[in-house]
């Protein structure tokens, strides 16, 4: 089963760039990447640029509306993701624990829909 691990961080709680704590966090991400690759479960993953670079789109009454920034108002920002392929939720949770942001933010796990079975 494929899962997306959505990584949310509160920038106020994230280690500051240029500090030992930041370097330790980044090493944790690299270690998680390497472990997931070595165990053959990592399909994709990447960090996202800051919320100030986001554009949101919606269609209302047949008209397209675009807005700068993310749609949701929250302290935690979506900062990146992994897509993994594992037997089930228990295994997905094991890999989500590897994500350093779990210590100061949130990692949301979502099974992916399969609209193309066998294809």
On average, the pLDDT of the chain sits at: 91
Tell which phi-psi region holds residue 69, choosing left (phi > 0), alpha (psi between -120 and 50) or beta.
left
Q: Tell me what pLDDT residue 28 has.
A: 96
| Predicted TM-score (pTM) of this structure | 0.84
Residues 52-89 have pLDDT tens digits of 888 888 899 999 988 886 655 567 788 999 999 999 99
* Alpha-carbon span 112 to 119, nearest angstrom: 15
φ and ψ at residue 93, rounded to 5 degrees: -60, -40
The pLDDT of residue 116 is 83
Domain at 2-50+76-111: CATH code: 3.30.70.1060
């Amino acid at each position: 089963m494929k899962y997306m691990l959505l990584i949310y961080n509160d920038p106020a709680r994230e280690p500051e760039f240029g500090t030992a704590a930041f370097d330790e966090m980044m090493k944790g991400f690299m270690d998680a990447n390497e472990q997931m690759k070595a165990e053959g479960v990592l399909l994709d993953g990447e960090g996202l640029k800051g919320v100030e670079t986001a554009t949101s789109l919606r269609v209302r009454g047949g008209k397209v509306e675009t807005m700068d920034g993310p749609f949701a108002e929250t302290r935690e920002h979506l900062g990146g993701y992994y897509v993994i392929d594992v037997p089930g939720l228990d295994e997905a949770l094991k890999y989500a624990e590897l994500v350093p942001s779990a210590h100061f933010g949130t990692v949301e796990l979502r099974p992916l829909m399969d609209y193309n079975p066998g294809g």
